[in-house]
Amino acid sequence: MTIKPFGYDDIAPFLKLAAAENWVTDPWEFEFLLSTFPQGCCAARAESGELAGCVTSLKHQRSGWIGNLIVAAGFRGQGVGQELFVSALEALRSSGVETVWLTASKLGQALYEKHGFKSIDTIVRWSGTGRQRHISQGAVANYSNHDTLLNDIDAQVWGDQRAALLAATVTRGRLLQKASGFAVLQPCGDALQIGPFSALDDATADTLLNNALQSAALGTKLYLDAPASNRAALRLFNRRGLRISGSTRLMYRGRKPDYRAELLYGLASLGSCG
């Protein structure tokens, strides 16, 4: 078994592994991660050349994120996941980050705790459907016109600047914005994801969510990952008819982050980038 850099040719094999685990993911994440922090993206290969597993990571300004850790069924129990995880963690540590984030399944939590990660929240996967019968084809938002507001609000949530991630999601999605909040409606395979989604008050979050639901074609599957500790979000999503379809633990290692869950209504990705 060898650990090598994850490359563009590994995207399709990863998607097959992810589909077998019923993961909701999209190729854009890998294209973004490989262009932003390639040294933190690793693949494990068997002697036959078969992809045995992979992991990705992303560096922000003072923090980083580990995601997409997966091991093919036939290679589990051989230490492959731990070796991949340590490779990504070392890449982030070498880059000088103070805090490393990740979301953990119940099966993976013990591994992360072994390496010093602590639970800080639960991330709940919500699902719903679009509610507009006729979609107008509006122009894609120009991120440069919105970057200051988005970065300022996002930094209040995470205690760090995540400009590259915000720019990538806005560029590929549809930006919904108010003076005290924003949400991005991103394509995700045959579905849509609402996120990043942050708001400084409940009324703004309600308006943005309603606009997102009304902007998606009737019956289109929608996903949204939000912190369980944001009780206002829980009430809002229930009121708008969304349903819980899963959960993971939000964990960190290193400097305790200035994390404000009460402002966070949706992650920027479904588990891989934060």
Continuous segment of H or E residues that includes residue 111 = helix 106-114
State how far the Cα of 261 lies from the Cα of 188, in Å rounded to an integer: 24
Q: Is residue 118 part of a domain?
A: no
Q: How many percent of the chain have pLDDT more than 90?
A: 77
| 144 and 243 part of one domain | yes
**177 in the same domain as 132:** yes
133 & 185 share domain: yes
- Amino acid sitting at position 263: L
Confidence of residue 107 (pLDDT cuts 50, 70, 90): confident
Q: Decide: residue 187, CB within 10 A, 0-12 exposed, 13-18 middle, 19+ buried.
A: middle
Same domain, 15 and 133: no
| Rounded average pLDDT over 242-270 | 96
Cβ pair 43, 53 in contact under 8 A: yes
Domain count, the chain: 2
In this prediction the pTM is: 0.92
Query: What integer is the mean pLDDT of 108-137?
Result: 88
Residues 35 and 146 in one domain: no
Q: Report the chain's mean pLDDT, rounded to a whole number.
A: 92
Kindly state the average pLDDT of the residues 86-92: 97
109 domain-assigned = no
Domain-embedded: residue 113? no
Whether 43 and 169 share a structural domain: no
Residue 272 belongs to a domain: no
Q: Are residues 128 and 194 in the same domain?
A: yes
92 plus 142 within the same structural domain:
no
Q: Residue range 250-269: average pLDDT?
A: 97
Q: Tell me, what DSSP letter sits at residue 39?
A: G
Domain residues for the domain of 235 are 124-266
In a domain, 153, yes or no: yes
111 domain residue, yes or no: no
Most confident range, picked from 146-150, 206-210, 267-271: 206-210
pLDDT range class, residue 59, cuts 50, 70, 90: very high
